Amino acid sequence: MTALSFLQSIFLQEDGGFLGFLGGERGTFGSDDPIIVGVIASAFVVAGFGIMLNLMNSAIRKKMVDMVKWRRIMKETRAFNKARMDAYRSHDKARIDEVNKKSAYMNKLNMEMMQMNLRPMMITFVPLILIFYFVLPYLFSYTVAVSPVPLNVIPGDLFQLTCTAEQAADPEHVCPTENAVFLWAWYFLSSIAFSGIIMKITKTTMDLS
């Protein structure tokens, strides 16, 4: 199988391919015969995967990125953007010209910061995708938790986090009950919930305060 065929098999499947699971359709993300069963066990293990991968990402970022330099560039960039905005609002040509003189230098800093962010991402992206797409769906069922309230805040079927009543009532659907949380959604929510804490612990946060 060529690389192109492999990518096509992932992204162009009839069930929506790589991103098909976002709509909550059957057969897109999860297993009919999972290795790890039970809502409690599944919820904790999936959350554990999210925490573990966040830790790995933060560790690589801390190793590869000079955070002191990164924060210095961020502060300088924010100060420049504020000064430029103030200059244009004041309609003061002298201030605008003075700010514009620094544009080339600031563009260079922005490019450097982008490269600093890109290096660790290039290393972590492949294993994250491999684990997410080729490991999790075989370990767990389609749903791994139950929410007390529906989490489908975005209208439509494009970004479903929890099962709807209609899906739960359909015997052919993977949803066992209303508001059951899809596997990918629980992983997504767990990763977001712990990412800020992990970044603070590992001192890789982007907060400049």
Encode pLDDT of 50-98 as tens digits.
888 888 888 888 888 888 888 888 888 889 888 888 888 888 888 888 8
The region of weakest confidence among 8-12, 109-113, 146-150 is 8-12
Residue 44's pLDDT is what?
Answer: 92
Confidence class for position 45, pLDDT limits 50, 70, 90: very high
Mean pLDDT calculated for residue range 131-145: 86
Q: By the 8 A CB rule, do 24 and 130 touch?
A: no
Q: Give me the percent of the chain exceeding a pLDDT of 90.
A: 2
The pLDDT tens digits for 167-198 are 889 888 888 888 899 988 888 888 888 888 88
Report the b/e string of 72-98 with b at 16+ CB within 10 A. ebeeeeeebeeebeebeeeeeeebeee
